[in-house]
Amino acid sequence: MNKKKIFNDPIYGLIRFPYEILYDIIDHPYFQRLRRISQQALSHYVYPGALHTRFQHALGALHLMTRALDILKSKGVLISEEEYEAACIAILLHDVGHGPFSHSLEHTLADIHHEDISVLVIEKIGLELGKDFSLVLKIFKGEYNRPFLNQLISGQVDIDRLDYLTRDSFFSGVAEGIIGYDRIITMMNVVDDELVIEEKGLFSLEKFLMARRLMYWQVYLHKTVVSAEVMLISILKRAKFLVQQHIDIPSSEELNFFLSMNVEDSKWMDKDVFLNNYLLLDDMDILWTIKKSVRHEDFIMRFLCKNLLERKLFKISLLLENQSSIDFSEVKRNFGSKFNIKEPELFYFFSEKSETITIYDSLKSEIKILLKSGKTVLFSDLLNNYKNITPESKVFYFYPSF
């Protein structure tokens, strides 16, 4: 019966998948949890439509992976049934390790990268389904002897990025993020087991890179979005402090488990104990704690939760080129005096955050272009303005103005 399931995706239309194991994974509780993990964290504070989830993104990425693999096979690239299936499982589960609000709280609750957690969860799902996922893990970690399969999952132009840019642009309504994902996939090929893009797709690639840059500055790192995420992180830090001082806050058992420990302790924790708690956490745990803390006895917790819920966010100042820092000493004194907050606790309200994006990393890994002559060249050799690009950075200063 599973093989007959069809998903109605708002972007790609009716989609279905070739292996029953994919539907078994989709039905698994660890994957269903992604329905409760937002794809764009708090971007909906600026773009009201950006309320889609990691679940939707994972299904979309799986659909594009099947499309890419079919395109490659049609061009004579030998891909075994085992490789095809494993690549599909790897892309389906590539985000399964994300915590609440995706990247926002990645190093606040636990000091472990979501990709490392994904590896543990993939292993766990394989065991529970009685399947050997060793090839899946090799492809996912880039250890398989055919690099193009990993490059489809994680690279400068990969299936993950093709879906999330398309999907995030669609739901946020930001037209600058629209890319020609179908043309880029159609132009994919493989040479010496490395992923290449055919020369006809050169300018679609350039459009893709520019769209990604615009989406980062206009959506993902929009100053108001970052402000909301900074407040969310401050709330979790204050909640952790209160719990460790044996002051009760409304929270689920799983969230309380992480609030009770130091962040660095997660590195040494038994992985089964860690995963059993982590995989029960989602956005709802955090939102419930915030909602129920608007009347908490602790002023800092109450103040932060109430204002985040009501979208009374921290103000933002951007560091200009001729500035080395911004002086908030007077604002701090006034705020601390007004609300009787001691100097050591002002960091919950005043913070600095640096954000950097690299449009194209020609030093780390290059996109290879397949010319009509059959020769492969580096993308930055054809478009010199993409060689050794300096990363773009912005420094944000956040402060309250209540």
Question: Which pTM does this prediction carry?
Answer: 0.94
Give the mean model confidence (pLDDT) for residues 171-196. Answer: 96
Q: Which two tokens stand for residue 262?
A: 């130091």
Mean pLDDT of the chain: 93
Sheet holding 392-399, edge to edge: 315-318, 392-399, 351-357
pLDDT in tens, 328-380: 889 999 999 999 999 999 999 999 999 999 999 888 889 999 999 999 999 99
pLDDT value for 232: 95
Inter-residue long-range contacts of 18-21, CB under 8 Å, 24+ positions, other chains counted: 18/66, 18/84, 18/88, 19/85, 19/88, 21/85, 21/89, 21/129, 21/131
Condensed to tens digits (0 to 9), the pLDDT of residues 206-227 reads 999 999 999 999 999 999 999 9
- For residue range 75-134, what is the model confidence (pLDDT) as tens digits? 999 999 999 999 999 999 999 999 998 776 777 887 778 888 999 999 999 999 999 999
Q: Where are the domains of the chain?
A: 2-188
Inform me whether the pLDDT recorded for 3 exceeds 70: no
Residue 266 confidence (pLDDT): 64
pLDDT tens digits, residue range 304-339? Answer: 999 999 999 999 998 887 787 888 889 999 999 999
Question: Do 59 and 15 touch, CB atoms closer than 8 A?
Answer: yes
Using alpha carbons, select from 181, 293, 288 the residue that is nearest to residue 247: 293
Q: What would the pLDDT profile of 142-177 be if each residue is shown by its tens digit?
A: 999 999 999 999 999 999 999 999 999 999 999 999
Domain 2-188 classification at class level:
mainly alpha
